[in-house]
Copies of this chain bind each other. A is one copy, B any other.
Amino acid sequence: MKDGQSQATRRAPRGSARARLIAAARDLVRRKGFAATSVDELCAAAGVTKGAFFHHFASKEGLGVALIEDWTETTGAMFAAHPYNAAADPFDRLIAYIELRRTLLSMPLPEFTCVAGTTVQEVFDTSAAMREAARNSLASGAGHVRAHLEAALAAHPVPGVTAESLARQFQVAVQGGIILAKAENDARPAREALDHLERYLRLLFGR
């Protein structure tokens, strides 16, 4: 009788408020940026009240840090689990990684924007905590390809090129591509950035 069902659809199950807030933040921050997203908006989107918000996060900035940390884990798990890691040749794994990033670009624009890259642009000078979380996130993202790059460079050294720096260039191509895609309102420039990255790699490794 107690209309438990409508209650359940209307209100999220207890204990999920934190996760729901982070999910809502991921959506809204990608579309509108961090500063332009208000706490009230976040609560409404998550189906949660303000009391719940400030129970789980000390401040809006706290939510921002948690959002980026969650992003680091989520994307990290996704890349780690992906079959692109299976290829025997490290160079093939790099090409497969780029191909994987290409397929991600077929999603709608707000859904392939990088949470860390977007927010750090806004807050790098106003929130040290969020900047540090973003730095860690981008470094972690570069870490996924660095291992493959080290193996590839061991088999085919390139003078003046380190795995560390080349891994960062992957991030540069991805982040820069996203900016151009946003400006053009079209994923194509981001896809072309990956094409150039792949061509660069092939030239470096003589493939």
Binding site for B on A (CB under 8 A): 31-33, 35-36, 109-110, 116-118, 120-126, 131, 134-135, 138, 160-161, 165-166, 168-169, 171-177, 179-180, 182-185, 189, 192-193, 195-196, 199-200, 203-204
Contact of A192 among B126, B168, B173 (CB under 8 A): B168
Contact B179 A193 (CB under 8 A): no
Contact A172 B168 (CB under 8 A): no
Chain B residues with CB below 8 A from A171, complex form: 176, 179-180
Within the complex, the shortest CB–CB distance from A98 to chain B, in Å, comes to 14
Chain A interface mostly helix, strand, loop or mixed? helix
Taken together as a complex, chains A and B put the C-alpha atoms of A183 and B123 apart, in Å, by 10
Chain B residues with CB below 8 A from A117, complex form: 121, 179, 183
Contact B165 A192 (CB under 8 A): yes
Chain B residues with CB below 8 A from A35, complex form: 32-33, 35-36, 122
16 A–B pairs (Cβ distance < 8 Å), ordered by A: A31-B125, A31-B126, A35-B36, A35-B122, A117-B183, A121-B179, A121-B182, A131-B183, A131-B185, A135-B183, A135-B184, A165-B192, A168-B192, A169-B192, A171-B180, A172-B196
Within the complex, the shortest CB–CB distance from A54 to chain B, in Å, comes to 21
- Interface centre among A35, A122, A135, by most chain B C-beta atoms within 10 angstroms, is A122
- Interface centre among A124, A161, A173, A174, by most chain B C-beta atoms within 10 angstroms, is A124
Task: Give me the 10 closest cross-chain CB pairs, A-B, nearest first.
Answer: A176-B176, A172-B176, A35-B35, A124-B182, A33-B122, A35-B36, A203-B203, A135-B183, A175-B176, A175-B179
Within the complex, the shortest CB–CB distance from A174 to chain B, in Å, comes to 7
